[in-house]
Amino acid sequence: MNLVVWDIDDVLNPLMRDWFEQQWLPRHSECRIAYQEITANPPHRVLGIPEDEYLNSLDEFRAAKAAREMAPNPEVLEWLQTHGARCRHLALTARPLQSAPGAAEWLFRHFGAYIRTFSVVPSRLTPQLPAYDRSKGEFLDWLGKDAVLVDDSETNVAAAKSLGMQGVVYPQPWNSSRLSVEETLTLVSELLETAQ
């Protein structure tokens, strides 16, 4: 195993937290929910709004200066500086295609020394465009490499495992991981060690 596949949003960056704190809360003073109470992703039901309202707000944030200025995850950056040279790295994100250029620029600016491949599975695709992959699982199946997927989505991790890959759920309020970030990254290291 010589490949780690990293989710970008909510693993390499704090997208949901930054969107919620910098865009949603300032525009919805009536909202009494704290970030740790966002126990579903997408969080539209938690927020009591239609899904398209959430998606439109998130898309607006992704296009804003605040998204370009998101801080990289310092724990992952430190892990890469210590362990990154042991294997190759690929970023795999599920987001609308129109937001992919900004995500790629952000990724290479912060993580490009280690993560040199950027892939996107469009989360919403215009019907006339080709649909190579409809999920991260389909992309990983096409990739056909033994890898470790690090993702905040338990669905994506389960898809990787169903393909015989390793998967690690990155802790967020909407998943069942009870590991700390440090324990999660230690698990990634251990999976790489046992595969060599």
Query: 3-state SS string over 69-97?
Result: CCCCCHHHHHHHHHHHHHCEEEEEEEECH
| pLDDT computed for residue 26 by the predictor | 97
Where do the domains of the chain lie? 3-14+72-195, 15-68
89 pLDDT band, cuts 50/70/90, is: very high
State whether residue 55 is helix, strand or coil.
helix
Residue 1 pLDDT greater than 60, yes or no: no
Phi and psi based region of residue 181 (left: phi greater than 0; alpha: psi -120 to 50; beta: remaining): alpha
Is the N-terminal amide bond of 42 cis, ω within 30° of 0?
Answer: yes
> Using 50, 70 and 90 to split pLDDT, how confident is the model at 132?
confident
Q: Mean pLDDT across the chain, nearest whole number?
A: 95
| Nearest Cα to Cα of residue 55 among 28, 86, 19, 91 | 19
151-173 tens-digit pLDDT: 999 999 999 999 999 999 999 99
**Where residue 128 falls among pLDDT bands split at 50, 70, 90?**
confident
Give the pLDDT confidence of 105-125 residue by residue, as tens digits. 999 999 999 999 999 998 887
Report d(CA 137, CA 178) in Å as an integer.
23
**Which CATH architecture fits 3-14+72-195?**
3-Layer(aba) Sandwich (3.40)
Q: What is the pTM of this model?
A: 0.95
